[in-house]
Amino acid sequence: FTYISKPRINDINPKKLFTNDTETEVTITGSQFMPGAKVIVGGRIVPIRELEAGMDVKGQGITGVDPQGNNREVAVVGGMEAASVNVVSNNEIKVRFNEATDLENSSIIIINPDGGISDPYNDFKYEKPLPLKPMVLEAVPGYESTVMLIWNESDPDLLNRATKYEIYGRRANESTSTFIASTTEAEYLIKGLEPNTEYVFMVRALNQYGAALDFAEVKVRTLSLQEDHKQREKEERLKEEQRKLIEKGKEEIIGNKVIRTLGTEDIKNKVGNLDFNQSKYKNTTELTINIPIALARTDFTLNIKYGELQMTINPKDMYTFRVSMMDQGDKDSNLQIHIKRQGESHIPRGKRIASRAYDFHFGFQRGKEYIEIDQLLRTGKLTLNLDNITYPRTRNLTLYKFDTPTGNYVKISNNRTTSFKGKGKYILLSDR
């Protein structure tokens, strides 16, 4: 006699998968699993005598014996073979699947290399990765009888993420909603509504696999004619504030940090001069300069004075390839120069400090995202000026740069000026 195995599936975890899930590892537990086993999803077991030409046969074997003691010779037809199979033991298999398309069912069948075939396990289900409805939907009434709908955008990492949204609406006293528009954004402005009227709006999420089963719904009343006028005034004030920000920029001093946003009026004849040596900056130790991306797309020279530091840079040289790939428009996007000044005690033997240490680096901010800019497109110029009152006795003044790998300052220039193409920490040193 030749004994054939009879693999048996007792349990599967998880019992549900999206059809496009190719990363989740599925654990199958049972008995008589053999190394080299195949795992088929969506197939069916057919007696050998019923095989027909053109059938997609995944394997052949035996599922047991009939009442007369004859082997039940069968084939597994159709379905999809697991992309990876790891037979951990004779009681456990771990598998991953390719994306499932056009399966007749979602049953799991195991085919051992000796021809033993399990009964189908029918408690595993594939689900279409349909998106969920937006969890949050807000309606903001605006002037001229408009309503801005805003909802939470689908997480891009979800397998069932939404890629499009449909908007429907009706008056609150009506029963039938009308299709308004579709959008790929997470907001939509509805125009042409009646003043002081209550509306119901619904948003449905969609993706390539279909539409969400439910709608997100919100009820809102448009502004009255009197409220509309006040809202318009508020909008105009906000626009005026935005215009002033673009033209004049903005400055904040928070603790020991200065945050300065450039405005168009800071640049005259393609030159911008920022002087942070006034008394109000005396106790600050950090400086962040925001350069709106709209300004950075044009050539101009920016001169910065901060204590002993004097820096000259063309902000366009910060517009690197990585920045251009992240650039999605002018809204809340800034190139940034960060400068920190501090004392320094770790200096070469035989030297004394003749300035504070200045540590600077560059970055790009878009909304909540931030990247470091390691290398500028062209060099900038750096000078550390001597403060004769603070450092009265100096000899053989030299500019040094901190070398991170060694943890030491190294001589970078015989005078007080050097060029730079990236971040660095600099200090003036003199002989003792």
**Could you check whether the bond before residue 405 is cis, i.e. omega within 30 degrees of 0?**
no
Query: Which residue, of 64, 99, 127, is where some domain finishes?
Result: 127
Do 280 and 384 share a domain, yes or no?
Answer: yes
Would you place residue 111 in the very low, low, confident or very high pLDDT band (cuts 50, 70, 90)? very high
Give the number of C-alpha atoms closer than 13 A to the C-alpha of residue 358, restricted to the C-beta side. Answer: 25
Do 160 and 305 share a domain, yes or no?
Answer: no
pLDDT > 70 in the chain, percent: 99
**Chain CA centroid to CA 109, Å:** 39
CA torsion sign for 212, 214, 218, 219 is: positive
For residue 241, being part of any structural domain is answered with no
65 pLDDT exceeds 80? no
The first and second tokens of residue 29, run together, are 């537990």
For residue 2, being part of any structural domain is answered with no
**Helix H or strand E encompassing 289:** strand 286-292
What residues pair up with 335 in beta bridges, in sequence order? Answer: 291, 364
Q: How many CB atoms lie within 10 A of CB 359?
A: 18
249-254 average pLDDT score: 92
CATH number at residue 141: 2.60.40.10
1 pLDDT exceeds 70? no
328 pLDDT exceeds 90? no
Number of separate domains in the chain: 3
Q: Of 89, 91, 83, 86, which is closest to residue 40 (Cα–Cα)? A: 83
Do 122 and 141 share a domain, yes or no?
Answer: no
Do 219 and 304 share a domain, yes or no?
Answer: no
- Cβ contact 190:113 at 8 Å: no
Query: Which residue, of 127, 148, 168, is where some domain finishes?
Result: 127
For residue 242, being part of any structural domain is answered with no
Q: Cα 336–337–343 angle (5° rounding)?
A: 145
Q: Cα 184–190–191 angle (5° rounding)?
A: 140
Domain that holds residue 83: 8-127
Do 325 and 416 share a domain, yes or no?
Answer: yes
Integer Cα distance of 195 and 171 in angstroms: 12
For the stretch 353-379, pLDDT in tens is: 999 999 999 999 988 889 999 999 999
The most confident of 65-74, 290-299, 302-311, by mean pLDDT? 302-311
The predicted structure's pLDDT at residue 356: 92
Q: What is the mean pLDDT of the chain?
A: 92
The predicted structure's pLDDT at residue 118: 93
Residues comprising the chain, all counted? 432
The predicted structure's pLDDT at residue 34: 95
Query: What backbone torsions phi and psi does residue 294 show, to the nearest 5 degrees?
Result: -65, -35
Integer Cα distance of 248 and 260 in angstroms: 11
Do 215 and 188 share a domain, yes or no?
Answer: yes
For residue 3, being part of any structural domain is answered with no
Q: In what order do the strands lie in the sheet with 417-420?
A: 267-268, 271-275, 301-306, 309-313, 380-384, 417-420
For residue 239, being part of any structural domain is answered with no
For residue 106, being part of any structural domain is answered with yes
Query: Which residue, of 226, 257, 290, is where some domain finishes?
Result: 226
Cα 205 to Cα 35, 180, 313: the distances in Å are 44, 14, 47
Do 56 and 112 share a domain, yes or no?
Answer: yes
Integer Cα distance of 52 and 409 in angstroms: 81
Do 400 and 288 share a domain, yes or no?
Answer: yes
For the stretch 209-218, pLDDT in tens is: 999 999 999 9
For residue 209, being part of any structural domain is answered with yes
Do 268 and 368 share a domain, yes or no?
Answer: yes
Do 157 and 283 share a domain, yes or no?
Answer: no
For the stretch 378-420, pLDDT in tens is: 999 999 999 888 888 888 889 999 999 998 999 999 889 999 9
Give 116's DSSP letter.
B
The first and second tokens of residue 163, run together, are 């890629």
Integer Cα distance of 409 and 47 in angstroms: 81
196-222 average pLDDT score: 95
For residue 132, being part of any structural domain is answered with no
Do 71 and 17 share a domain, yes or no?
Answer: yes
Q: Is 155 exposed, middle or buried (0-12, 13-18, 19+ CB in 10 A)?
A: exposed
The predicted structure's pLDDT at residue 345: 79
Do 101 and 158 share a domain, yes or no?
Answer: no
- Cβ contact 9:117 at 8 Å: no
